[in-house]
Structure 1
Amino acid sequence: MSEPFFELKGSLFPLSVIHSTDLSEAAIRAALEQKLSQAPAFFHQAAMVIQLTPEHDAIDFIALKHLFQELKLVLVGVSGASPEQKALAQQAGLASLRLGQNSKPSPSQPQTTESTSSSEVRVEEVPMQTKLVEQNIRSGQQIYAKGADLIICGAVGAGAEVIADGNIHIYGSLRGKAIAGAAGDSSKRIYCQNLQAELVSIAGHYWLSESLQGDYWTKQCCIQMQGDSIAIRDL
């Protein structure tokens, strides 16, 4: 008997969730263009969902969908929609999603959440390997440790990007972007000796440079998830 050529399985993916009191095309364009100017590579073709509330009305979902396409983003659907909002979103070809309870927005930081289907999701624990890079990572370079932790014995320059499914250890300055837990594991961490990053991300949650410029700026630190938000602490 031949193997089935088609299977439908539940899975788990990180999605960026947009929370905004103003969902007009002009307001969303201005906000997205600002974020894209700060980290264009990180957001390129990023999958996004719009969080709706009963206060949102007269939303032009078709115009918003075209806007996302223009900005090289992917508007997957909406969440929290009323029956009327859901019908309008579906007319624009958008999905109506049900996000988990851990997706409540923080008042000051962008958040992401994960979407699952109603079918069973199984997570297989796979031991992490380690990828060691003994050099500085220059602007324009990207290092990805698939299924592994990443150790950088050197600096990560502005415009450079280091990505790992596991943890990231940087024995030098971090001036570019560091993305840990890229496969969706929010327990992963970023360690660095000198924090001056353009962006840090763990399992889809991210902070840009302006959010990082606090007590740990230019210092050694550990970046991790704490509840539903990113937190920074001493090594």
Structure 2
Amino acid sequence: MSAAMDYEQAGELKIGQVGIANLRIRNLDVSRLVEEMRQRVQRAPKLFARAAVVIDFGGLSQVPDEATARSLLDGLRDAGVLPVALAYGTTATERLSEALGLPLLAKFRAQYERADGGNPAPEPVAAPEPARPAASRPAAATSAPAAPAPDPGLIQAAPVRSGQQVYADNRDLTVLTSVGAGAEVIADGSVHIYGPLRGRALAGAQGNEKARIFCREFHAELVAVAGHYRVLEDIPPDLRGKAVQVWLEDQQLKIAALD
């Protein structure tokens, strides 16, 4: 009799939401980029030391050559972070990622395909229906269809504890209790926290600059809206422990106490 097959996997692979920083390169000055990153790590080591970083060359007119890219990666590692991937871009980006032995992060795919290929094709417009005599027209509907119920967003009733992450995909996030130190709450829309915020809160994760963060008791390690962030060391001491709102205005992150 043949031995029974063992179908149990040695490793279980799951795909999930992961908090990874995106470094969008706007000026390919390697020494300046490395120094800026070194300062970030020194100012907030708990947040940035050995942080996973995706390198995004979409802000440049052309992708750098392999030697320059390797110099940047080495410099960033020396500054204290860990480059783990390139943001999806053009075919040149894909070739560079293969040469560097780094994966492409697909979440940026749609954004770059629009940028590289021009504006998305417009939706087809239906031709107007020719006019018909009144007698042959269908009778008007007697009642309009019921409107769909509004989406309340994702509601997190339990505390978000250290090491946990809660992500609201394409909606708002409401946390009814607390967000502990080392925890992270992320929403593509706005974030509402009805207890203390001691971890990180990120609103507008997919670039929604109108998203906001509202918090009843502010002790955040980091807050961000549409990628613009501030860490605890940058926050005025008189706002700590207060009820605040965080929003983006003229590409600057604003934090103010709620009256």
Q: Give the Cα separation in 2 of the matches to 1:93 and 1:216.
A: 45
Aligned residue pairs: how many?
182
Secondary structure of residue in 2 paired with 1:210? helix
1:193 maps to what in 2?
216
- Within the alignment, does 1:23 sit opposite 2:31 as a pair? yes
1:203 aligns with 2:226: yes
Sequence identity (%): 31
Corresponding position of 2:83:
73
Distance 1:19 1:34, change over 3 A: farther
1:70-115, Cα deviation, whole Å (9 max, x unpaired): 73225859xxxxxxxxxxxx9x959xxxxxxxxxxxxxxxxxxx97
Structure 1 residue 136 corresponds to structure 2 residue 159: yes
Amino acid at match of 1:198: E
Query: Residues of 1 paired with 2:255 and 2:77: CA distance?
Result: 34
Which residue is 2:52 aligned to? Answer: 44
Root-mean-square deviation (CA, aligned residues, Å) is: 3.9
- Offset at 1:196? 0.6
Q: What are structure 1's unaligned runs of at least 5 residues? A: 1-13, 53-58, 78-89, 95-113
TM-score in terms of structure 1 length: 0.62
Q: 1:163–1:25: structure 2 CA closer, same or farther, 3 Å change rule? A: closer
Work out whether residues 200 and 220 of structure 2, in 8 Å CA contact, stay in contact via their aligned partners in 1.
yes
Compared CA separation, residues 120 and 20, structure 1 to 2 (3 A): closer
Deviation >6 Å, runs of 4+:
18-22
Matches for 1:80-159 after TM superposition, within 5 Å: 93=96, 116-117=115-116, 119-121=118-120, 129-159=152-182
Deviations 1:180-220 (A, max 9, x none): 11111111000001111000011111111111234322100
**Structure 2: 5+ residue runs without aligned partners?**
1-21, 61-66, 88-92, 98-110, 124-149
Aligned to 1:225: 248
Partner of 1:180: 203
Indicate conservation of the 8 Å contact 2:191/2:203, yes or no: yes
Report what 1:82 is aligned to: none
Q: CA deviation at 1:43?
A: 4.6
Higher RCO structure (Cα 8 Å, ≥6 apart)? 1
Pick the structure with greater CA Rg. 2
Q: Which has the higher helix share?
A: 2
The one-letter code of the counterpart of 1:72 is L
Report the TM-score when normalising by structure 2: 0.57
SS in 2 for 1:225: strand
Higher strand share: 1
